[in-house]
Structure 1
Amino acid sequence: MLLRAKAYSRHLAFTELNDPSLLREKLLSLLKKCPSTKTVQQIHTQMLINFIQKPNFLLIRIIDLKDFNYASLLFHQISRPNEYAFNVMIRGLTTAWQKYSHSLKLYYQMKRLGLKPDNFTYPFVFISCANLLALNHGVSVHSSVFKIGLDEDDHVSHSLITMYARCGKLDSARKVFDEIRERDLVSWNSMISGYSKMGYAKEAVELFGRMREEEFLPDEITLVSVLGSCGDLGDLVLGKWVEGFVVKNKMDLNFYMGSALIDMYGKCGALVPARRVFDAMVNKDVVTWNAMITAYAQNGLSNEAIMLFNRMKYAGVNPDKITLIGVLSACASIGALDLGKWVDKYASQRGLRHDIFCGSIDDALKVFEDMPVTNEVSWNAMISALAFNGRAHEALLLFERMSKEGGAARPNDVTFIGVLSACVHAGLVDEGRRLFDLMSSSFGLIPKSEHYSCMVDLYARAGHLSEAWDFVERMPEKVDEIVLGALLGACQKQKNTDVSQRVMQLLLEIESSNSGNYVISSKIFANLKMWDDSAKMRALMREKGVSKTPGCSWIGIDDPKQSNWK
């Protein structure tokens, strides 16, 4: 890399600078202005040619440009790096590249060389420990800080609070906070943020109250932490006060603040003010859209969540895994299988499927178990998430818990869609039948089309086609063509002509222009060597002017449907 830079250096005319000190000053001045790694390489080459040894200046600029390989190469070429070089590199590893384990290793290397870490070293070492959840290392480093008398340094104290809080040692973090003699706004923010992020919402709000009593004016960082705690506590009064403070002090309603307000209102069930804040934001990033979609999904307004998701796509904002988790939750609540399948495919294509369908469920379970109060929405969301992610037995166990421990949160229509879906995915026919009967006998619920659809799907997958058709005939509303299509596919596998002919007749009545129905019907007859019937189906297709449709997928956009051609 350094040799290649020599070609660029020919364009730099420094030959007229005969005075070495003038040349050094000129190069260092230019170094500060370098806009890219390439120009730094040119300066670096000139410094090597002219025997100018200023590696620390180079290191600072390379770190600012976030070139990890170049910075690492340069650092390891320094024969005797001093404290300053180590501090600069540790800061870069922590802040520019988030390579926290490298940062910690460099700290120990620094000590082995007999160099003395200082108040510019320790804050970044503690931040690294915090992100690695390396409590043992953090405690050891804290003891070193105490021995050399740096425990009263503000920057060191603030990073110590963060480290202990992230590692779950809130008592130790609070002890550090209480021992700060003259607290500033950063001190308060560090402790409030530590409480809020670790789920100690009550303590965060109480400390915020003390901060106000001591007449410290909160900034954006304070308010965002407090809003998170308001949402966890359902403290709508304080949440509204925060919004009033933002408006009164003409604070910028940016992505950070706007998303926090939407999230708080959503957790408090106040969706009208949440949407008001959302609509008032001129610029919205993916976090903002996620906050509003999640607010709708968590409060049972699944249709609104899906509509907003579609508008998000129209706005050209690419969904991330948080978006997709919220949309999947909405799909699970209303049985929107088509959109759910689209999300699954989208996530798979972008390598997000494991994050969404694996890790997120365990995270969601942890959040659910830690919730101080649960309602129908939270129980249903968790049951549906487990059901739609192949964890049927856990979904059914959670349903049993809800029935016994849910208190005022009783199983409803949406709950039974979740547990019946679990039975479908696991092939639990007897359990599905029991739960379907339980709806009316134990909970006084009248099964709806969605519940009948689940039963049809359950029986069809298990090969019980006559029972599946029986549920089709018992449906209280018009049967869904998707359900019939799935049943027809099952008939094709089982080579069942009796049920398949009834399904075909019903399908052609309600969806006479869908070429797939004719094609599948013709294939069923052909597989059974009923050639005349197969030919008649093809002829009927031509007679009605139905042509075979090119492959496409459909996504519901608000009310109409929009095609997504592949």
Structure 2
Amino acid sequence: MSFHGGCSSAQPVVDKFLALLRRCVSTKTLQQVHSQMLVNSLDKHNFLLPKLVDVKDFNYASLFFSHIPKPNEYTYNIMIRGLTTTWKKYDIALNLYYKMKILGLKPDNFTYPFLFISCANLLALDHGRLAHSMILRCGLNFDDHTSHSLITMYAQCGDVGYARQVFDEITEKDLVSWNSMIAGYSKMGFAGDAVDLFQKMKDEGFHPNEMTLVSVLGACGDLGDLNMGRSLECFVEENNIAVNSYIGSALISMFSKSGDVSSAKRVFDEMKKKDVITWNAMITGYAQNGLSNEAIQLFNSMKTAGLKPNKITLVGVLSACASIGSLELGKYICAYASENGLLNEVYVATALIDMYAKCGSVDDAFAIFQTMPEKNKVSWNAMISALAFHGRAEESLSLFTRMEKEGRVSPDDITFVAVLSACVHAGLVNEGKRLFNLMSTSFGLVPKVEHYSCMVDLLARSGRLNEAWDLIGKMPGKPDEVLLGALLGACQKFKNTDVGEKAMKLLLTIEASNSGNYIISSKMYANLRRWDDSAKMRVLMKEQGVAKTPGCSWIEVDGRLHEFHAGICFNSLYSEEIYKVIELLIDEMKIEGYNPNVSLL
């Protein structure tokens, strides 16, 4: 490819090169055209740079941009747009904006929409507010694109009130205006506001499109509003709207979150084209509803269909593995994540920590945690909780101290539930009290029922039952069945009928169908030889029609999970092998000196 010409033929040559540029669809052809432009001394960077963005070659575009002698506002705008929408390099886009201002160039309505999108994704609210004030100070007119990106920025950064203010100030709202605000409400957890605004939008005479439906279906799922969700599905059918990946996935998620898994599966089965997003929605839906085996089976079907699982797929399947203790499949997912460069993804790594911990492999969980290049609050909480709930209290508290010292992430409610649970397991009453007070004094957190439950459990296990009962009286809300159940169990252990009867009366009013409450109460009276009262509890249990719930466990053989209940015999291909393993375990337990505790039976 070559073009040569003197001054008289310069314009035809330029036109030919620009025509070639428009036809370029790859970096290779673009490089050939660029090299010929250099040979012919044609400096048309404002035409070449947009094409580099179109072919998505970040390195080439960055190098080319850095060699432009005096880039103008147009050039900066093209690069900021590419960084934001094509390459998702939001931090570089923000830096370019400030460099543009330093050079004395004036950002305009082609700059700010992409700047606000970058701020939204960086959660850089301060930078977004500063840019907003610059627009007002310079007297720039707010066009639709700028207003819509402002709404998105404020909403994603958590300032939904200011997003609504920007929305309300738009004099002539179009469908994108409504969609921006509805999406902001839906994504930030203001589901009720999203639905209300959707109703107002319809009253104003606007017809919802795909983006509207996806946002409102998400809000319906969060609210568990099946009626509205179904009406939206009818709207899709009546208006012949194609159930593509986005609409289909939104419907599947809505039905799943609302507990209607069969409708979610119906939508999934009816979709002619299913991409990874669709499969992920259904796998996650199964996992969220406790249908772990179905989630795992669908994951296997997804692989058979030739689709490549991504990080969202892995998180959903790992959640299912954690629920049923499928360590073998969990390890396979870990290996898959490592081979495909997903192990450093913070959500995948955190899901692995949770899976390993719930399957009993705490050391494997800690190994994943240690190798994580980036740890968020959920990662820290998952690991601290794993150590606490496996009785490794000192390690859990040590990790909490490390979290405090590093200072990158602040503890939250979940963190304190974990460390207080660690204190419960280790019987560290004074440390538990210190941490409980630390919540409000150092971190401004208000203790919730879960934290009071831990403290009551901690005090009760140490025999401080009256102190535990007094703490219940100081709670901001009513005690729940978990808290009262822990206290009642301690009263039975320490033979304290005074506090035990108080707890029992409260407990039977809020959880009358739990057989354990009656049995513990009956045993508490029996320990004190109050046989009539003991018998009354058994009679009351029978009168209320309450039956003891049988225990349930799983065992994994050759990658297949077998569920069994107490008192029910196995009836499977592996029955003989399973019984042999159980007998060996019983023998080993006896050698270790274990004696079953039948006092609560």
TM-score bin, normalised by smaller chain: 0.5 to 0.7
Q: How does 1:136-155 map to 2 (within 5 A)?
A: 136-155=126-145
| 1:161-206 C-alpha deviation (Å, 9 max, x unpaired) | 0110111000110010000000001100110101111111111111
Provide the rounded CA distance (Å) in 2 between the counterparts of 1:498 and 1:314.
46
Alpha-carbon distance, 1:293 to partner: 1.7
1:311 paired residue number: 301
Provide the rounded CA distance (Å) in 2 between the counterparts of 1:498 and 1:237.
57
Provide the rounded CA distance (Å) in 2 between the counterparts of 1:357 and 1:146.
42
Provide the rounded CA distance (Å) in 1 between the counterparts of 2:75 and 2:82.
11
Q: How does 1:393-408 map to 2 (within 5 A)?
A: 394=418, 397=421, 401=450
1:87 equivalent in alignment to 2:191: no
| 1:283-323 C-alpha deviation (Å, 9 max, x unpaired) | 11122112112212222222322222222222122222322
| SS state at 2:56 partner | coil
1:446 paired residue number: 550
Q: TM-score, normalised by structure 1?
A: 0.67
Provide the rounded CA distance (Å) in 1 between the counterparts of 2:199 and 2:162.
21
| SS state at 2:297 partner | helix
Q: How does 1:161-176 map to 2 (within 5 A)?
A: 161-176=151-166
1:43 equivalent in alignment to 2:33: yes
2:192 paired residue number: 202
Q: How does 1:104-183 map to 2 (within 5 A)?
A: 104-183=94-173
Return closer, same or farther for 1:319/1:499 CA change in 2, 3 Å cut-off: farther
Q: How does 1:231-310 map to 2 (within 5 A)?
A: 231-310=221-300
Contact kept, 8 Å, 1:133 with 1:166, in 2: the verdict is yes
Letter of the aligned partner of 2:350 in structure 1?
G
Asked which structure has the greater RCO (Cα within 8 Å, sep 6+), the reply is: 1
Return closer, same or farther for 1:112/1:347 CA change in 2, 3 Å cut-off: closer
| SS state at 2:120 partner | helix
Q: How does 1:320-339 map to 2 (within 5 A)?
A: 320-339=310-329
Contact kept, 8 Å, 1:224 with 1:257, in 2: the verdict is yes
| 1:39-66 C-alpha deviation (Å, 9 max, x unpaired) | 2222222222222221110111111111
Return closer, same or farther for 1:281/1:452 CA change in 2, 3 Å cut-off: closer
Alpha-carbon distance, 1:80 to partner: 1.0
Identity, in percent, stands at 53
Return closer, same or farther for 1:338/1:175 CA change in 2, 3 Å cut-off: same
Provide the rounded CA distance (Å) in 2 between the counterparts of 1:255 and 1:37.
30
Contact kept, 8 Å, 1:100 with 1:128, in 2: the verdict is yes
1:392 paired residue number: 389
Provide the rounded CA distance (Å) in 1 between the counterparts of 2:386 and 2:270.
36
Provide the rounded CA distance (Å) in 2 between the counterparts of 1:120 and 1:305.
45
Provide the rounded CA distance (Å) in 2 between the counterparts of 1:179 and 1:226.
23
2:350 paired residue number: 359
Q: How does 1:484-523 map to 2 (within 5 A)?
A: none
Return closer, same or farther for 1:438/1:388 CA change in 2, 3 Å cut-off: farther
Letter of the aligned partner of 1:308 in structure 2?
L
| SS state at 1:19 partner | helix
Return closer, same or farther for 1:255/1:344 CA change in 2, 3 Å cut-off: same
Provide the rounded CA distance (Å) in 1 between the counterparts of 2:347 and 2:586.
29
1:187 paired residue number: 177
Return closer, same or farther for 1:201/1:317 CA change in 2, 3 Å cut-off: same
Provide the rounded CA distance (Å) in 1 between the counterparts of 2:556 and 2:352.
27
Contact kept, 8 Å, 1:402 with 1:409, in 2: the verdict is no
2:2 paired residue number: 12
Number of aligned pairs?
Answer: 424
Provide the rounded CA distance (Å) in 2 between the counterparts of 1:234 and 1:227.
10
Provide the rounded CA distance (Å) in 2 between the counterparts of 1:279 and 1:17.
65
Q: What RMSD in Å do the two structures reach over aligned CA positions?
A: 4.0
1:370 paired residue number: none
Return closer, same or farther for 1:79/1:220 CA change in 2, 3 Å cut-off: same
Return closer, same or farther for 1:444/1:80 CA change in 2, 3 Å cut-off: same
Provide the rounded CA distance (Å) in 1 between the counterparts of 2:215 and 2:297.
29
Provide the rounded CA distance (Å) in 1 between the counterparts of 2:295 and 2:38.
60
Alpha-carbon distance, 1:120 to partner: 0.5
- For structure 1, the 5+ residue unaligned runs are 1-10, 365-381, 413-436, 454-471, 501-566
Letter of the aligned partner of 1:212 in structure 2?
K
Provide the rounded CA distance (Å) in 2 between the counterparts of 1:363 and 1:448.
21
Contact kept, 8 Å, 2:286 with 2:294, in 1: the verdict is yes
Contact kept, 8 Å, 1:104 with 1:129, in 2: the verdict is yes
2:91 paired residue number: 101
Alpha-carbon distance, 1:245 to partner: 1.0
Return closer, same or farther for 1:327/1:41 CA change in 2, 3 Å cut-off: closer
1:26 equivalent in alignment to 2:16: yes
Provide the rounded CA distance (Å) in 1 between the counterparts of 2:238 and 2:291.
32
Alpha-carbon distance, 1:338 to partner: 3.5
1:229 equivalent in alignment to 2:219: yes
Letter of the aligned partner of 1:330 in structure 2?
A
Contact kept, 8 Å, 1:293 with 1:327, in 2: the verdict is yes
Alpha-carbon distance, 1:214 to partner: 0.2
Provide the rounded CA distance (Å) in 1 between the counterparts of 2:581 and 2:330.
17
1:542 paired residue number: none
Return closer, same or farther for 1:448/1:29 CA change in 2, 3 Å cut-off: closer
Alpha-carbon distance, 1:37 to partner: 1.6
Return closer, same or farther for 1:107/1:192 CA change in 2, 3 Å cut-off: same
Provide the rounded CA distance (Å) in 2 between the counterparts of 1:90 and 1:150.
19
Alpha-carbon distance, 1:359 to partner: 3.5
| 1:492-528 C-alpha deviation (Å, 9 max, x unpaired) | xxxx89979xxxxxxxxxxxxxxxxxxxxxxxxxxxx
Return closer, same or farther for 1:324/1:35 CA change in 2, 3 Å cut-off: closer
| 1:68-108 C-alpha deviation (Å, 9 max, x unpaired) | 11111111111111111111111111111111111111111
Return closer, same or farther for 1:349/1:75 CA change in 2, 3 Å cut-off: closer
Contact kept, 8 Å, 1:324 with 1:356, in 2: the verdict is no
- For structure 2, the 5+ residue unaligned runs are 356-378, 391-417, 425-448, 454-477, 486-514, 521-546, 558-563, 593-601
Letter of the aligned partner of 1:304 in structure 2?
E
1:216 equivalent in alignment to 2:206: yes
| 1:234-270 C-alpha deviation (Å, 9 max, x unpaired) | 1111111111111111111111110000000000111
Return closer, same or farther for 1:205/1:498 CA change in 2, 3 Å cut-off: closer
Alpha-carbon distance, 1:119 to partner: 0.5
Alpha-carbon distance, 1:131 to partner: 0.8
Contact kept, 8 Å, 2:210 with 2:247, in 1: the verdict is yes
Provide the rounded CA distance (Å) in 2 between the counterparts of 1:64 and 1:45.
18
Return closer, same or farther for 1:296/1:439 CA change in 2, 3 Å cut-off: farther
